[in-house]
Amino acid sequence: MSTALDMTSTDLREVNSTLQSAAKSQSNEAYVIQNPRGHHAMACGLDGPLNVTIKGSTGYYCAGMNKEATVTVEGSAGPGVAENMMSGLVTIEGDASQYAGATGHGGLLNIKGNASSRCGISMKGIDIVVHGSIGHMSAFMAQKGNLVVLGDAGDALGDSLYEARLFVRGEVKSLGADCIEKEMRQEHLDILADLLAKAGADAKPEEFKRYGSARTLYNFNIDNADAY
């Protein structure tokens, strides 16, 4: 049984307050948000187990700072979806705009369509699975976590990244500074298989290439001065 919140008659502040209170109470309830009409910052700051389904597309920063909750957007999401996510599951049935999953620390962001530029920028432990393609400068300064892309990747993938793992099945237009293709070992195949299963993605781990840091930018080296 789920509780419906209709945004034609309930404003954004009340919707978020209701969801945040329910999450904080550890109620593990189910909510359905009707007529979201592209509102910004929906279902943000949920700090507990909750199941939220948004019946339509959303604006900026949907499901930001998510912790433990499961949020499903039955549409597309604007910039910064699941920004600074800590745990839980955020699923976008359509496409995601710029910097999806930015600075995310944990949990799974599952994007069924495409993601725009800077997907996973500065990710810090989040897992992101994109069933389509991603735009330029994705995983810029990515520190930790896994970015899985079933389609193609744009320019400057993984620029200045640290220890995040990037798995791409399609073509990579270009690699950013200090990002290189790396060996796909069994441990990486196992990680990838688990993420693909969790995301319900129709792909085999063996179809992907792995990219990561060459570790030449960790400390200043005069021979690499042009790359800084």
Question: Which burial class, exposed, middle or buried, applies to 202 when counting CB atoms under 10 A from its CB (0-12, 13-18, 19+)?
Answer: exposed
In Å, how far are 94, 113, 119, 162, 172 from 211, measured between CA atoms? 26, 22, 15, 11, 10
- Euclidean distance between CA atoms 111 and 128, whole angstroms: 8
- Euclidean distance between CA atoms 159 and 210, whole angstroms: 15
Identify residue 147 by its one-letter amino acid code: L
- Exposure letters 84-100 (e unless 16+ CB within 10 A, then b): bbbbbbbbbbbbbbbbb
Sequential pLDDT tens for the chain (228 residues): 899 999 999 999 999 999 999 999 998 899 999 999 999 999 999 999 999 999 999 999 999 999 999 999 999 999 999 999 999 999 999 999 999 999 999 999 999 999 999 999 999 999 999 999 999 999 999 999 999 999 999 999 999 999 999 999 999 999 999 999 999 999 999 999 999 999 999 999 999 999 999 988 766 566 666 655
**How many Cα neighbours within 13 Å face the side chain of 16?**
16
Please state the φ and ψ torsions of residue 90, each to the nearest 5 degrees. Answer: -120, 125
Of the candidates 51, 103, 68, the residue with the CA atom closest to the CA atom of residue 82: 103
Query: Which domains does the chain show, CATH number per domain?
Result: 3-216 (2.160.20.60)
- Which single residue is written with the structure tokens 């299963």? 197
Give the neighbor-by-neighbor strand order of the sheet with 30-34.
Answer: 3-6, 30-34, 51-55, 70-73, 89-92, 108-111, 124-130, 144-149, 165-168, 209-213, 179-182
- Exposure letters 101-128 (e unless 16+ CB within 10 A, then b): bbbbbbbbbbbbbbbbbbbbbbbbbbbb
CA angle 194, 42, 77 (to 5 degrees): 60
Identify residue 179 by its one-letter amino acid code: C
